[in-house]
Structure 1
Amino acid sequence: MPEVSHGLAEVIEVDLGPGVRAGFTTRAGGVSPAPWDTLNLGTAVQDDPGRVVRNRERVAGWVGAPVVFATQVHGAHVLQVDAADATAGTGDALVSGTGAIAVAVLVADCVPVLLADARAGVVAAVHAGRGGLVAGVVDAAVAAMVARGAQPGRIRAAVGPSIAGVSYEVPAELRDEVAARHPATWATTSWGTPALDLPAGVLAELERLGLRDVLHVARDTWTDDALFSHRRAGGRPTGRFAGVVRAPV
């Protein structure tokens, strides 16, 4: 999928159904200087708040509506969002049934997941890090969509760029603990050490939940300089990119 520039913000667009606007931002197209260069959307990474506001406005220009974010805590709480606000509260999945706004999650190695049932007019943005995946955030988001009229067989999903299994080194005990819940996550790095494949775990969970139309944007944040990576930054400040989705108007 090519990166498309809209008002400078460069976005990896994905097709989640008629009338749905969805995509994953990249580092490019914003106003922040190094080390956030340039489209940093995170407010808690030492970037100037005014620059982050301007960057978020560029994403809103691309998606065509105000974008609502949440305070993410690596859990499974789902927020119902149907009105514009700077933040929807604390949670790791945002579900919306209106095209008047877009919902988004921030990442820099974790897995962003976008979901849409265009016929029901319901969408979701999900932040699926290691903790959220284990806590059941993907399951909770799909259940919340179904409660609003979506059907798993109609839901289209896009699993966005994240750190790949070959790059996400973890202690062997942690790998075994997570894989006991999500076997698809068991992995080994390209240099032969224990690892977790979070995208594989998310894809397996979506299949288990009955989703059949699933796209994976398989770009590794650890190796792809066009995307932010917390791990690659090695403790230095870096930005956050986003998965953004808007329901049909």
Structure 2
Amino acid sequence: MDEAIGFLAADWPAPAHIKAGTTLRTGGVSQAPFDSLNLGDRAGDDPAAVATNRERLRDALALPSAPAWLYQVHGTRVVDAGGDTSGEADASSASRTDAVCAVLTADCLPVLFCDTRGDCWGAAHAGWRGLAGGVLEATIEALPAAPANLMAWLGPSIGAHNFEVGEDVRSAFCDRAEADASAFVARDTPGKYLADIYALARARLERAGVHAVYGGGLCTIDDAQRFYSYRREPETGRMASLIWRQRPALATDADIT
């Protein structure tokens, strides 16, 4: 029997018709070191295996359409998931459509958004470069809702105890916002720090007016059974973080009285 598709549902108070979460690395057909539900088509895996994994994912989650896969480059461009998604982009947004927003990660931070009514939603790929550059703020701006009416979920990413960075990364944040210094802990080696990407994302969301933030606290490096990690294994697969609107169930004769 085929192994079930692994999926970690977002733990947030989104409207019931909004579905969101992150895939795990189980339930696909990719061989080692991409085993087994690799969804990234630029990781070096067999393209046929990736295509099969993507089809299995769509069937298992009963997605209303194929996910809007992006050509991610650690930038800040946001595209309409229901329109032209060609070109480089690291986030997508959707509103009142069947579009499925999706981003691929293997240590970077995936951030999912929706408004309190569930009328719009989005997904952002926030590695440190994109996060410092403003990909979250760009995604918020692309959504047709006031920031105060949005909620965000932080998917699995590299944990603060494993994310060693240099002075360049610290400066990219702290030169813009001195308060971000609290997310960096100096190491014994001069110029080296441990960075808390979850804390950095929460701070940027708060400054952008999004106060309802959920998730966080996981570490892709520590959990090799569930998550891919590029820092742990440079040749590895990618998880997908997705968000979509579930179609209403069709009425049957039994439902009509």
Larger gyration radius, structure 1 or structure 2: 2
Q: How far did residue 188 of structure 1 move?
A: 4.7
Displacement of 1:80: 1.2
Counterpart in the other structure of 1:3: none
In the other structure, the counterpart of 2:147 is 152
Q: 2:132, 2:172 within 8 Å by CA — same for their partners in 1? A: no
Give the partner amino acid of 1:110: C
Q: 1:92 aligns with which of 90, 93, 105?
A: 90
Aligned pairs for 1:103-114 (under 5 A) are 103-114=101-112
Q: Do the aligned residues in 2 keep the contact of 1:179 with 1:185 (CA within 8 Å)?
A: no
Aligned length: 236
**1: CA distance between counterparts of 2:193 and 2:163?**
8
2:81 is aligned to 81
Residues 1:172 and 2:167 aligned together: yes
1:19 maps to 17
Distance 1:115 1:157 in 2: 5
> Matched residue of 1:133: which SS?
helix
Q: 1:38: how far off? A: 0.6
Letter in 2 for 1:162: S
Answer yes or no: is the 8 Å Cα contact 1:97–1:247 preserved in 2: no
CA gap of 1:68–1:131, structure 2 versus 1, over 3 A, is: same
Q: Residue 199 of structure 1: SS of its match in structure 2?
A: helix
- Following superposition, the deviation at residue 105 of structure 1 comes to 0.3
Deviation at 1:9, TM superposition (A): 1.3
Paired position in structure 2 for 1:67:
67
1:8 paired with 2:4, answer yes
Contact 2:113 2:150 in 1 (8 A): yes
Matches of 1:26 and 1:114, distance apart in 2? 16
Q: Partner of 1:138: helix, strand, or coil?
A: helix
Q: What are structure 2's unaligned runs of at least 5 residues?
A: 248-257
Contact 1:165 1:188 in 2 (8 A): no
Q: Is the 8 A contact 1:109 1:229 kept in 2?
A: yes
Aligned-pair CA distance for 1:88: 4.1
Which secondary structure state, in structure 2, belongs to the residue aligned with residue 57 of structure 1? helix
Q: What per-residue deviation string (whole Å, max 9, x for no partner) do you get for residues 152-197 of structure 1?
A: 2221210011001210111234324433335153235799951222
Instruction: Say if 1:77 and 1:92, in contact at 8 Å, map to a contact too.
Output: yes
Q: What is the match of residue 202 of structure 2?
A: 203
- Find the aligned partners of 1:120 and 1:33 in 2 and give their Cα distance: 38
Q: Distance in 1 between matches of 2:186 and 2:220?
A: 17
**Structure 1 residues 17 and 98, CA gap change in structure 2 (3 angstroms):** same
SS in 2 for 1:218: coil
RMSD value over aligned CA atoms?
2.2
Q: Which runs of 4+ in 1 moved over 6 A?
A: 189-192
Paired residues of 1:186 and 1:197 also in contact (CA < 8 A): yes
CA distance in 2, matches of 1:28, 1:200: 28
Question: Does structure 2 conserve the Cα–Cα contact (< 8 Å) formed by 1:71 and 1:91?
Answer: yes
Q: Secondary structure at the match of 1:96?
A: strand
1:57-104 alpha-carbon deviations (Å, 9 max, x no partner): 222221522211110111111101215x8x543211100114422110
Any conservation in 1 of the 2:30–2:50 contact (CA below 8 Å)?
A: yes
Identity %: 35
How high is the TM-score relative to the length of structure 1? Answer: 0.87
Structure 2 residue 231 is matched with structure 1 residue 231: yes
* Distance in 2 between residues matched to 1:186 and 1:63, nearest whole Å: 41
Amino acid at match of 1:178: F
Greater CA deviation, 222-231 or 202-211? Answer: 202-211
Measured after TM superposition, the shift of residue 56 of structure 1 is 1.1
- 1:92-151 superposed Cα distances (whole Å, 9 cap, x missing partner): 110011442211000001000000115261110000011101110000100110xx2x12
Q: Distance in 1 between matches of 2:5 and 2:86?
A: 23
Do the aligned partners of residues 245 and 170 (structure 1) sit closer, same or farther apart at CA in structure 2, a change above 3 Å counting?
same
Residue aligning to 1:36: 34
Matched with 1:125 is 123
Cα pair 2:40 2:237 within 8 Å, conserved = yes
